[in-house]
Amino acid sequence: MPELPEVEVVRAGLAPAVVGARVSAIDVLDERALTRHPRGSADFVARLEGRAITAAARRGKFLWLPLDGDADALVAHLGMSGQLLLRSPDAPAERHERIRLHIEHPQHGRLAVVFADQRTFGSLAVDVLLSAPDGAAGGRGTAKALVPSQVAHIARDALDPAFDEAGFVVAVRRRASGIKRILLDQTLVSGIGNIYADESLWAARIHPETEGRSLSTRALRRLLHEVRLVLEKALAEGGTSFDAQYVNVNGQTGYFAHSLNAYGRTGQPCPRCGEPIARVAFMNRSSHLCPVCQRRR
């Protein structure tokens, strides 16, 4: 389940191989991988073929590769199970391979960028670039204040130097929703999914159903601090892999699953107090929490 750390690992892995490369050909094997490109595969190919990639950028869980001219970019969202893999040009098809980009790099020669996705929630698109309203760099990996139109409504992530922390605190304190639901709202803070929401709330000792408006400014700043610590640690460990659903561009898994304190540890002792971690239903999925450390107010 790619969240911010996993997508950042992919971005950082792709960058040296794709920045400066030119797209020589595109194989679209499954149209469902272009749900974000409503004009279809022929238009996708026409807009991408022959173009040079100038950067590898990311905001939250969205990844984009700006194209020559700074007017548009190849946008990728990995969804639940998407992978972007670097392969040799004649490598056999991956299981669940949806799209293959053939690129030529001045130093590295010919390469294939493979988009594989088991559950087909992820997709690619060629999208126009818009000016970032705050004038700051659009995301990590680019110095230009440009962002794809499909990413424009997404807030900056907590690791972004231009993240509006004060604005986030004000917005949260207006909301009656539970704080976990708020953390998952990508228009307030991006990059957080179910795993890192549970981990951050455990670290901050906050119950996931605590209403946003009931949290103090101090508590919210402490929560953001814990969010950043969790994301940075996960990033340093290569992301979270429970199975082959998430891998880096070389097909390798991350190690952060060994560092989880709450998520996926139902019934196991809380690392802080020893109470068994509880799992509760949340929005057709699950929350994991310590019933002692994270008491509901």
The residues of the shown chain that bind DNA, judged by CB under 7 A, are: 1, 3, 32, 60-62, 77, 79-80, 96, 118-121, 150, 153, 171, 174-178, 181, 184, 186, 193-195, 212, 243, 263, 279, 283-286
CB of 109 to DNA, least distance (A): 32
8-46 in b/e form (b: 16+ CB < 10 A) is bbbbbbbbebbbbbbbeebebbbeebbebbeeebeebbe
Q: Is 6 a catalytic residue?
A: no
For residue 209, indicate whether it is catalytic: no
CB 157 within 8 A of CB 59: yes
Nearer to DNA, 82 or 111 (CB): 82
Q: Tell me if residue 87 is catalytic.
A: no
What is the smallest separation between the CB atom of 153 and DNA, expressed in angstroms? Answer: 7
Least distance in angstroms from the C-beta of 52 to DNA: 26
| Strand extents, DSSP E, 132-172 | 146-148
Of 95, 174, 218, 285, catalytic: 285
Q: Tokens 């040079």 identify what position? A: 52
Residue 249 beta carbon to DNA: minimum distance, rounded to whole angstroms: 19
Q: What CA–CA distances, in Å, run from 151 to 41, 147, 201, 209?
A: 21, 6, 26, 28
Q: Which of 11, 58, 59, 61 is catalytic?
A: 61
Residue (249 or 257) nearer to DNA, CB: 257
Set 2, 5, 66, 208: catalytic member: 2
Task: Identify whether 233 is a catalytic site residue.
Answer: no
Give whichever of 21 and 151 is closer to DNA, judged by the CB atom.
151
For helices 194-204 and 217-236, angle between their N-to-C axes, nearest 10 degrees: 130
Looking at the chain, how many residues does it have? Answer: 297
Residue found by looking up tokens 């001219």 in the block: 69
CA–CA distance from 188 to each of 136, 175, 180 (Å)? Answer: 17, 11, 12
- CB-nearer residue toward DNA: 79 or 254: 79
Catalytic machinery residues: 2-3, 61, 285
